[in-house]
Amino acid sequence: MSTNGNDRLRVFAGRGSKVLAQRVCDHLSIPLGGARTEVFPDGELIVKLDEDVRGRDCFVVLSTCAPINDNLIELLIFLDCLHRASAERVTVVTPYFGYARQDRKDEGRVPITAKLIANLITVARADRVLAIDLHAAQIQGFFDLPVDHLSATPVFYDYFMERRADLGDLCLVSPDVGNVKVAETFANLLGGDLAIINKRRVSGSEVVTGNLIGSVEGRTVLMFDDMITTAGTVCEAAELVKRRGARRVIAAATHAVMAGPAVARLAAGTIDQIVCTNTVPTEGRLGPIAEKYVELCVSKLLGDAIFRIHHNQSVSALFKRTAGAKR
């Protein structure tokens, strides 16, 4: 990518997202911003900049994934550090936005933590936010500042279209009702039928799968979701479609959270391939499923968005061929 006009652009990275941020900078043909996060003996963090940012347009890349509270605090300290160093504008680039599932009160006496996190980022004086596949589209409205909400659909589309002939007779399966719109869009893009699974969540880690609406017999089943957390939903769904005669099952998700029993469940389950992006770092965590795991890179998607924001260009062009957000 041309570096014209990028002299005022600086991209920094938190400790957990340095690999992705470096790939973004490689795409933009700029060096990664000089900064370091140090930990005091009592666990407190301090961010130190190793270069001048006065009057610069700064972007901080950091997914608020595990360890989520450490990453969140580091992000807030990064924002304060950049503003006190007189950066002209600071954009939070959070490929994975943690606490997104706590986006409403679904029972009494519980918080709406996603809104609280949005408030903290706003109070820390972020000027805008760039995210990929928020768990719920309405989270954009939790921020009192501009939000560019990207979809990883183009990344998945390019991957699966290159292999479309190998997929054969394809059926897109929505693992829950809230994801039907995304599955339907992928069915139209890739040329396949649509099926829907009705599920019921018993607890934060337990999901009960119900009925399958549609036919999967003898077909390749492709399931899309915004994230794989404990893998309960996707493994239950895979078992159901295999019992209904599916020939092959591929699970795809933007965010490979892989918490708790996720890797063990996926290793023991009937899923033939797992395809996720690198919004959440997975180094050293996927041993038992490494042979059937495919990681796609979102650096070009993020880099193009950063370039357009920096040059005050429309980001809407990046929304083409997108499947929308989970509802």
Residues recognised as catalytic:
199
Rounded CA separation 214/191 (Å) = 16
Instruction: Determine whether 156 is exposed, middle or buried from the number of CB atoms within 10 Å of its CB (0-12, 13-18, 19+).
Output: buried
DSSP string across 247-286: SEEEEEEEEE---TTHHHHHHHSS-SEEEEESSS--TTT-
Nearest to 132 by CA among 270, 327, 294, 322: 322
Rounded CA separation 199/105 (Å) = 20
Block residue for tokens 């795991």: 293
Report in angstroms the alpha-carbon separations of 209 from 177, 239, 327: 12, 9, 19
Taken in order 220, 203, 285, 157, the sign of the CA dihedral is positive
